[in-house]
Amino acid sequence: MSLEAQLAAAENQLESTADSLGDLLEQIGDRISPALLGDRHRQTLFERARAIPSTVAAFPFGFEFPLHDSEPKADLGISLVGGTRSAAYFERRGQAKNAGGFEVGLAWLLDDTHSEGAFIRRLTGRKMMLEYDIGSAPAGDIQDPGLFLRSARQPLSGGERQAREVAAMLDAVVKAVGWKPEPGEHQHIARVHGALEEDARVESLGAFPARTRRIRLAVSGLRNIENTLSFLARTGGPVHCAASTIGPFEARQAFVDLSVHFDVHPHGLGPTLGLGFAAKERIANDPRYWIDPPQQWNPFLCCLRESQLGVPDKLSALETWPSKPELLICQGGTLILIRGIHHVKFLLRNHRVEAIKAYVFFLLCPWPIGSAGAARRRH
């Protein structure tokens, strides 16, 4: 069976299991603690997910939980891969007569990855991420999701060629979300890219069309406090606040990788800075990355609790999120459910920690795992 056929089989099983991602979440949603997602927000999120095909669960998807906020709510993130049934669904949406501007732009971007010779496909592959503001959106407000791209083939570290590739990613994102080009964004992103050293690299680049215009630029591979503070000093970031935030976690050896998240405006870098912590190294194309040992995040979460950062009930619920693979008997067949924590991000503003967010994932693999696993590794 070809890789394409294996992926099609995985999507077929998911489509037989649930009519939409919302219906699928209804079946597995009891794995989400009420401390992280309360009844009212749970139903809102599931209802919004009913506009998304269940086939997106053939790739990792997950949630953003605000750990600093006592309200148990979440935003939703999905992976979208060109050439799949899920992509065809969004392409049809973008071609409909009543399609909105973002739907048209997303369909254009998906179509642009069809050709193997297309530059954006060679750079990012056919995968993109959509992030839906649900818990963080005003009540009853349905917004277009954020769109994010990342390099699929090699790290976008420093260098002239990589700088051109980052600029191409920016152009693709701006066009897809329906904005006009802004030279200032290119200038400020080029300045951040020029400050990269050693193993640091551009991790992702994206935008939220429903928010005030800004480009979200993530740089990862900083490894430790020394590299991070040196990088922030070169970009004009809040060095002192970052040092006091990172220090306790480095003392505990509670992370293996650091990322910095900038908001880039046409006139410069925004006042909010994100610091992302990962407890494991990302290994390209290695499916073992998605399996978290149950205790892997405990040192980090213990440090959060001791520093009195985060709502205690949410931290306790997050400790039990990573779990061993679980067999689910569903209408469409047997699935393996894997849960893990991708990263935790601090938002710094005005020289203090303004918010803390946990980014967690679900991964559903048809059983036997070989058929879906091979297809997922390809992408």
Is-contact 108 94, C-beta < 8 A? Answer: yes
- CA-CA distance, 53 to 70, in Å (whole number)? 31
Which of 1, 27, 22 has its CA nearest to residue 333? 27
- Distance from C-alpha of 118 to C-alpha of 121, rounded to nearest angstrom: 5
Q: What is the pLDDT along the chain (379 residues), one digit of tens a residue?
A: 555 666 777 888 899 899 999 999 999 989 999 999 999 999 999 999 999 999 999 899 999 999 999 999 999 999 999 999 999 999 999 999 999 999 999 999 999 988 887 888 888 888 999 999 999 988 778 899 999 999 876 556 666 778 888 999 999 999 999 999 999 999 999 999 999 987 888 999 999 999 999 999 999 989 899 999 999 999 999 999 999 999 999 999 999 999 999 999 999 999 999 999 999 876 655 556 667 777 889 999 999 999 999 999 999 999 999 988 899 887 767 888 999 999 999 999 998 999 999 999 998 887 765 444 433 333 4
* Residue found by looking up tokens 């480095």 in the block: 250
Q: Whole-angstrom Cα distance, residue 90 to residue 94?
A: 6
Residue type, 148: F
Token code pair at residue 371: 């058929």
Residue 369's pLDDT is 52
What would the DSSP string read from start to end of 290-334? G---TTTTHHHHHHHHHTT-S-HHHHHHHHTSSEEEEEEEETTEE
pLDDT at 146: 97
**Residues 6+ away with beta carbon under 8 Å from 216:** 146, 148, 204, 205, 206, 207, 208, 261, 262, 263, 264
For the chain, how big is the Rg over CA atoms in Å? 20
Residue 123 has what pLDDT?
85
Smallest CA-to-CA distance from 205 within 173, 183, 247, 235 is with 173
Distance of CA 76 to the CA centre of its chain: 9
Q: Look at phi and psi of residue 152 and say left if phi exceeds 0, alpha if psi is from -120 to 50, else beta.
A: alpha
Residue 211: DSSP 8-state = S
Q: What is the dihedral of CA 159, 162, 164, 167, to 10 degrees?
A: -120
